[in-house]
Amino acid sequence: MTTAFIFPGQGSQAVGMGRALADAHPAAARVFAEVDDALGQPLSRLMFDGPEAELTLTSNAQPALMAVSLAALRVLEAEAGLDLRSGASYLAGHSLGEYSALAAAGTFSVAEAARLLRLRGDAMQAAVPVGQGAMAALIGVEPEAAAAIAADAAAGEVCDVANDNGGGQVVLSGSAAAVDRAVAIAKARGVKRAVLLAVSAPFHCALMRPAADAMAEALDAAEVADSALPVVANVLARPVDTAGEIVGCLVGQVCGTVRWRESIAWMAGAGVTRFVEVGSGKVLSGLVKRIAPAAATLNVGTPDDVARFIEAAASGA
């Protein structure tokens, strides 16, 4: 069985995430302590106890989700004997999850990834004044049709494809008025569902250019190593492993489309038959089932999930 490990992005956060892992496994608790120290903030307390509104803030949610993913991964290494170099063929992460994947591959330390994600969250939030941007999800639409809707809605403003998630789910992002027009156009063209999303900023569109510039500067100053495993980059939908390629993709990702459908399809085409989602929630596993229905999926975010992973490994599944 050929396995890829995948890491979730924003939207998978929930109050209480990681608590059971930290209580049951010292390896997880050490990751949370490392992130708290790196940020100079008890982020783990916010993750475990809330409040939800504060956890959902982009600058908190991004490093928090990475922390849960890496905590779960360290538990798999400690308890299941996982060695990614021999146990995984590819890694990938959705949006901020790409930083989790890169930390797992040794490109960043956990502390460096936490600091970069805090900066990324702050920069993305600051790039567009509140109320001037928006995002909308189109359900039951092909990517080409969604791109045409975005182009027709722009009318001189920004309306871009932010996420091609697969299974007929495409997210648009841009100027608030343009995204409103896109929703109306989508409904007029018979798209099954078109809804505005409750987000704090228009991620993954051209309006994020100031944030991309900030990340270029931060990544230039960061310690970035070649990855020990190929990481399928959001903006390319193919693997990269050198530090230079990785930095370029992370900068491009801020304004670029998260090509998740193509990324999963590429890995399935390269022989991946099992996708292990590491971290909070099961969003990516649901998307995988729509994109590559023949592939098996497994989630690891709780002690029970760890036990199931160990059982599956013992049975050869």
**pTM for this model (two decimals):** 0.97
Q: Kindly state the DSSP code that residue 190 receives in the 8-state scheme.
A: T
204 flagged as catalytic: yes
Place of tokens 């590559």: 292
263: tokens are: 């990324």
Per-residue pLDDT of the chain (317 residues; tens, 9 = 90+): 899 999 999 989 999 999 999 999 999 999 999 999 999 999 999 999 999 999 999 999 999 999 999 999 999 999 999 999 999 999 999 999 999 999 999 999 999 999 999 999 999 999 999 899 999 999 999 999 999 999 999 999 999 999 999 999 999 999 999 999 999 999 999 999 999 998 889 999 999 999 999 999 999 999 999 999 999 999 999 999 999 999 999 999 999 999 999 999 999 999 999 999 999 999 999 999 999 999 999 999 999 999 999 988 877 66
Considering the candidates 95, 100, 263, 280, report the single residue annotated as catalytic: 95
CATH of 3-127+207-315, one of 3.40.47.10, 3.40.366.10, 3.20.20.10, 3.20.20.105: 3.40.366.10
In sequence order, what are the residues at sequence separation of 6 or more whose Cβ sits closer than 8 angstroms to the Cβ of residue 215?
116, 119, 120, 123, 250, 251, 254
3-state secondary structure of 148: helix
Q: Is the peptide bond before 202 cis (omega within 30 degrees of 0)?
A: no
How confident is the model at residue 138, as a pLDDT? 98
pLDDT of residue 317: 62
Q: What is the CATH number of domain 133-199?
A: 3.30.70.250
Angle of helix 209-221 relative to helix 110-127, nearest 10 degrees? 160
Q: Which two tokens stand for residue 18?
A: 């990681």
Q: How far apart are CA 280 and CA 189, in angstroms?
A: 35
- Which one of the listed residues 44, 100, 173, 204 is annotated catalytic? 204
Give me the residue spans of the domains in the chain. 3-127+207-315, 133-199
Can you give the pLDDT at residue 213? Answer: 98
Instruction: Kindly report the number of other CB atoms within 10 A of residue 195's CB atom.
Output: 13
